[in-house]
Amino acid sequence: MQVDVAILGGGAAGLFCAGEAARRGRRVLVIEHGAAPGEKIRISGGGRCNFTNLNTTYAQFLGRNPRFAISALSRFTPQDFLARIEAAGIAWHEKTLGQLFCDGPATQVVAMLRKGMEAGGAALWLNTTFGDVTKENEAFRIETSRGAVVAARVVVATGGKSIPKMGATAAGYRLAESFGLPVTDTRPALVPLTFAEQELEWLRPLAGVAVQGCMSVGAQAFDEAVLFTHRGLSGPAVLQISSYWREGQTVRADLAPGADIAGKLRALRAKGGRMALRSALSEALPERLARHIETVSCLEGPVGAQSNAALDRLGAFVHDLELRPVGTEGYRTAEVTLGGVDTSALDPRTMEAKSLPGLYFIGEVVDVTGWLGGYNFQWAWASAYATAQAV
């Protein structure tokens, strides 16, 4: 089998790159070890695929050099991908914070990408593993379970390590290293945080409670939903902050941003304060949380029976709760992988390895990781597009 472009991995980036390169007349083959392509697209966004974010800039990305993403992101924008979605007749809506979702199932996006490939005559090998990749003269030779493939260009789109059960592997990182390219440390991101038994003791009774909160680590903060679970904390704000948290650090939670709990309690106290603490707290917090905070604070009696210092402590508890995670749920549930092929080794306009012409890395395998909210797919589309114009 001889092709112009062999793409390793049939996920978001691989499928889109295949369609775009085929459209430019390239003979393209995608090699995917799963039984179906685009499996993460299928389950993304709760089955509705948050396929892009209108507010995308390089500022929503982490990595050794987030500015690396500027070139690709500016040449293929959220509006460009949205135009593809609309041309395919896929109904969509903006949920919040610029996040665009399909109205219907996420599989529509996979079907659209497959159609793009088919229109250009790109081939897709499923259930196919690849082994050694070597460069011979001007071409690459890829050993696969279906025999050798010779390709003028190889695009590595094998994604990150998150959710091994869905076919995630470290193959792309290993391939980069086999050609001498640097790979930065990888770690699970956009992942629930876990806690020691001591903290779980008071978190666990709240399982199922959700608040619009603010989670922060140092100067980085996210104002989004916080969800209490049996294992600790989850929800968008927690997933977002997990990308910034490192072992040993504390995270801070404001469970009622802008509510000035201490001020309100003091005002109630000044007016006589016969209201129960839990009732006063539940004006700004879900009732279960309010009751729980009253219990763990060990304060007895109504608002009026408390000292100002006690009310201030309650306010601090709600607005500046210090938590010390012991870890994360790991790659088993992480939405993405931080780190990857070091961007210093890649050309930002094409994603081509500077030291090895003809070898490209796109999507999550690269050390470019987005916030929650459609940014990771936008990076997959944009990096794939940049490479498709170059191969």
Q: Which residues bind ligand FDA (CB under 6 A)?
A: 8-14, 31-34, 39-40, 43-45, 49-50, 129-130, 157-159, 162-163, 167, 169, 171, 335-336, 363-365, 374-377, 380
Closest CB to ligand FDA among residues 306, 328: 328
Angle (nearest 5°) at CA 368 between 107 and 42: 10
Closest CB to ligand FDA among residues 55, 279: 55
* Smallest separation (angstroms) from ligand FDA to the CB of 220: 19
Question: Which amino acid is it at 30?
Answer: V
* Smallest separation (angstroms) from ligand FDA to the CB of 288: 28
Angle (nearest 5°) at CA 261 between 256 and 265: 150
The β-bridge partners of 53 are 99
Closest CB to ligand FDA among residues 50, 350: 50
* Smallest separation (angstroms) from ligand FDA to the CB of 204: 24
- Is 276 exposed, middle or buried, given 0-12, 13-18 or 19+ CB atoms closer than 10 A? middle
Distances (CA, A) of 134 to 49, 115, 176: 36, 31, 12
* Smallest separation (angstroms) from ligand FDA to the CB of 174: 9
Distance separating the N- and C-terminal Cα atoms of the chain: 18
As given in the structure block, the two tokens for residue 271 are 């007016």
Closest CB to ligand FDA among residues 274, 332: 332
Closest CB to ligand FDA among residues 237, 268: 237
Closest CB to ligand FDA among residues 294, 364: 364
DSSP state of 20: H
* Smallest separation (angstroms) from ligand FDA to the CB of 129: 5
Closest CB to ligand FDA among residues 41, 206: 41
Closest CB to ligand FDA among residues 33, 269: 33
* Smallest separation (angstroms) from ligand FDA to the CB of 16: 8
* Smallest separation (angstroms) from ligand FDA to the CB of 294: 36
* Smallest separation (angstroms) from ligand FDA to the CB of 186: 13
390, 360 contact by CB (below 8 A): yes
Closest CB to ligand FDA among residues 130, 317: 130
Residues in contact with 128: Cβ distance below 8 Å, sequence separation at least 6, in sequence order: 31, 32, 33, 144, 145, 146
Helix residue ranges, H only, the chain: 12-23, 39-47, 70-75, 78-87, 107-120, 171-178, 197-203, 236-242, 261-270, 277-281, 287-297, 308-319, 375-388
* Smallest separation (angstroms) from ligand FDA to the CB of 44: 3
The β-bridge partners of 210 are 227
* Smallest separation (angstroms) from ligand FDA to the CB of 266: 43
Nearest residue to ligand FDA, by Cβ distance, number only: 11
The dihedral formed by the CA atoms of 331, 130, 379 and 37, expressed in degrees to the nearest 10: -80
Closest CB to ligand FDA among residues 26, 33: 33
The β-bridge partners of 139 are 136
Residues in contact with 89: Cβ distance below 8 Å, sequence separation at least 6, in sequence order: none
Distance, in Å, from the CA atom of 212 to the CA atom of 206, rounded to the nearest integer, reads: 15
